[in-house]
Amino acid sequence: MVHSLINFLTPAIVFVSQFKYFLLFLGVIVEGPFLMIASGFLLHKGVFDFLPLFVALVTGDLVADVGWYYLGYFFMDPILKKHGHFLSVTPEVLEKTKALFHRFHTKILFISKITIGFGMAIATLMLAGATHIPIKKFLVLNLIGETVLVAALLALGYFFGGMYDSIVEGFKTIFLIGAVVFSLVLVWGVSHYTKQKITQL
């Protein structure tokens, strides 16, 4: 049985090793920030090389952003106009929101991206599409924001990797659990702060 398991795992490990950056690119499309922190940790452990890792993370996150942008571009208006009353979103509220977003979109998009705008991130990206912000401007703003975000989260994960190496063997598991909890609290706190700032614009 053990021999069969080894025979199964060996090609799987080889496959993951050969296509690790592509798999990371796909993973970031689904879940970005936590994967970025984990990637920083693995970068410190020598699993990844910095440049292809950085490109895979930024590109994957940007592809996800563009997807939400075009969903908003083509579908947000008709869906909210038809079913917005279920969310207390009247046509008047929608137009006022779009007007406000159009006025401050540069600030909103950049701040939302670099502060991991969870809870409002998807809505912000879709609103950019619904407001018909030029795609070139959208890409530039998000690319700048993502460069800052990816660098910061990789650095955080890399820092955790350095601390992990210095922890006594018996406490490594406890440290990893603490690092995960800290990351969750950090992301939630930044997201909550971002929501408050954006709603005050």
pLDDT band at residue 192 under the 50/70/90 scheme? low
Q: Quick one: which of 199, 180, 188 has its CA closest to 124?
A: 199
% of the chain at pLDDT higher than 70: 66
Is pLDDT larger for residue 96 or for residue 116?
96
- How far from 52 is each of 46, 136, 147, 157, CA to CA, in Å? 13, 24, 14, 17
For every residue of 62-93, DSSP letters joined together read HHHHHHHHHHIIIIIHHHHHHHGGGGT--HHH
Query: Considering the entire predicted model, what is its pTM?
Result: 0.73
Mean pLDDT calculated for residue range 117-136: 78
Q: What's the one-letter identity of residue 11?
A: P
Nearest to 152 by CA among 180, 116, 118, 181: 116
Q: Is the pLDDT of residue 146 over 70?
A: yes
Asked if the model's pLDDT at residue 193 lies above 90, the reply is no
Which has the higher per-residue pLDDT, 184 or 62? 62
- Check residue 93 and give its pLDDT: 64
**Res 2 pLDDT > 70:** no
| Residue bearing tokens 């992990």 | 164
Q: What percent of the chain has pLDDT over 90?
A: 19
| pLDDT the model gives residue 102 | 78
